[in-house]
Amino acid sequence: MKKQIIALSLGLMSVIAFGQKKELRAAEKAIKKNDFATAMAQVNSVEGMLSSMDSKYKAQYYFLKGQVLAGKNNYEGAAEAFNKLISYEKEIGKSKYTKEAKPMLNSLVEKVSNLAVNLYNKDKNYKDAAKQFYLTYKLSPKDTSFLYNAAVSASLAKDYDTSLEYYKELKDVGYTGIETQYLATNKASGEVQNLGSKSNRDSMVKFGQFINPTTKVSESKKADIIKNIGYIYVNQGKTEEAILALQEARKSNPKDINLLLNEAQMYIKLDKMDKFGALMEEAVKLDPTNPVLFFNLGVVNANENKVEEAINYYKKAIELDPNYGDAYMNIAATILSKEKEIVEEMNKNLSNFKKYDELQTKQKELYKEALPFLVKADEIQRTEDTVRSLLNIYDTLEMEDKSSPLREIYKKMRSGN
C-alpha cells in the first residue's frame, strides 16, 4: 500500500513539474513578443508552487519575473526578482540565469539613475528626482550614494519628512561617502578627470593620453548627514531634536562654525540665553575676526544688564566692521538703558527741585554720550528708528537747529512719501 501511495505522489509531482515547465515556457514566449500581460499571468500561475519548485525552474521563474516586471516598467519589482535570482543561484552553486540577469539589472539601474540626474540637473524637479534616486538605490542597494542623492533632493524640494527618513537610513547603513578618485590630466584639454579605477587611469597614462596621475580620497559625509538631520529638525520647528542632532554633528566636526551657530540659534528659540552666550564665546575663539559674533555677545550682555561689557563687544564689532550700523545703534540703546533709573529717581523727587535738576542734568549727559553713535548709525543707514531716536534726543537737548529739518524728514518717512 505504501508503495502505491509513493508511486502516486511521484506521479503527481511529475505532473506538477510538467505544468511549471509548460507555463514558464509560455511566459518566455510571451516576453519575446513583448506581451507582458500574458507573460505576467503565466508567471503568477506558478508562484504558489515556489516552495516546492525544482531549483532549475525556480531560478527560471525569478529570471522571467524580472523581465516581465521590467517590461511593465515596475523597475523596483524587477530588481527585487533579479536580486533574488542572483542570490538563489549563488546559494545552489549555479549561475545559468545570473549571467543574463546582471546586465539587465545594470541596464535598469542606469536607466533610472539617468532619469534622476536629468530631473535634478536639467528640470530642477527635486521632488521627482528624490523618488528616482531612491528607486535607483532600491535597484542597487550597494550603491548607497544614490540614497544620499535622494536625501539631498528631497530636502531641496522641502519634503523634509522624506528627506529625514532617507538621512536616517543613511546613518543606519553606516554611509560615509568616502571614495577614492583616480585622477589624471587630459593632455588635449588640460582638464583633470576622474578615470574611475587605478588600472584604467594607469592605462590612459601609459598610452600618453593623460599625464600627472594622482589619487584623491574624498572626505567623510558622516558629519554632514547628522548636520542635515539637525537642519531638517530646525525647519520642522523641532528644537530639542535639532539641538541633539547638531551636538552630535559637532562631536565629529567641532570646528564647524555653522554647526555651532545653528545650535546657538536653537537656544534663542528656547529662551536659554546663558547657553547661547556660552556658544558665542566659543564661536569667537573659532572665528575671532567675525563682527557678527561680537555683536551677538553684545546683545547677550545687554539683555543681562551688563552695560559696559555689552558696549565693549559692540565696539569690537565696529572695530572689525566700521560700517556696522546696528552696532552703533545698539551702543546708543545700551547707554540710554541707564536712563530708566534716572527717570525713576526724577519721579520720586518732583518736589525736590535741586535733586530733580541734578538728575535732569545727568539725563542730558547720558543723551550727549549716546548721540554720536546714533548720528553714525543714521549716516550708515537712515531708518525711521534712527530718525525718531535722534529727534527725541535733539528735543530733550533743545537742539532746535538739528531737530527742525529732521522733523520734516520724519513726517515724509511716516507718510511714505
In a domain, 105, yes or no: yes
Q: Are residue 408 and residue 334 in the same domain, yes or no?
A: yes
Average pLDDT, rounded, for the chain: 87
- One-letter amino acid for residue 219 of the chain: E
| Tens digit of each residue's pLDDT (9 = 90 or more) over 197-215 | 888 888 889 888 899 999 9
Confidence of residue 1 (pLDDT cuts 50, 70, 90): very low
In a domain? residue 142: no
- Around Cβ 230, how many Cβ atoms within 10 Å? 25
Structural domain contains residue 153:
no
pLDDT of residue 311: 95
**Domain check: are 189 and 89 in the same one?**
no
Report the pLDDT averaged over residues 161-186.
Answer: 90
| Residue 88 resides in a domain | yes
Task: Tell me which DSSP letter residue 220 carries.
Answer: P
> Does residue 206 sit in the same domain as residue 112?
no
Residue 372 lies in a domain: yes
Q: Where does the pLDDT of residue 386 fall: very low under 50, low under 70, confident under 90, or very high at 90 and above?
A: very high
At residue 165, does pLDDT exceed 90? yes
Going by pLDDT thresholds of 50, 70 and 90, the confidence category of residue 52 is low
Residue 298 counted as domain residue: no
Torsion sign over Cα 182, 116, 61, 87: positive
Say how many domains are in the chain. Answer: 3
What domain range includes position 399? Answer: 303-416
Q: What is the pLDDT of residues 70-118, one digit of tens each?
A: 888 888 888 888 888 888 888 888 888 888 888 888 888 888 999 999 9
Task: Identify the band that residue 357 occupies on the pLDDT scale cut at 50, 70 and 90.
Answer: very high
313 and 394 part of one domain? yes
CATH number for the domain spanning 27: value is 1.25.40.10
The answer to whether residue 387 is domain-embedded is: yes
Flag whether pLDDT at 10 surpasses 60: no
Answer with the one of 83, 108, 123 that is the final residue of a domain: 123
Domain final position from 123, 158, 188: 123
At residue 137 the predicted structure's pLDDT band, cuts being 50, 70 and 90, is very high
Specify the 3-state DSSP secondary structure of 213: strand
CA distance 216 to 104: 32
- Report the alpha-carbon distance of residue 223 to residue 232 in Å, rounded: 14
Residue with cell 551677538: 296
Residue 212 lies in a domain: yes
Whether 409 and 325 map to the same domain: the answer is yes
Together in a domain, 412 and 309:
yes
Burial label for 201, CB within 10 Å (0-12, 13-18, 19+), is: buried
Residue 237 has pLDDT above 50, yes or no: yes
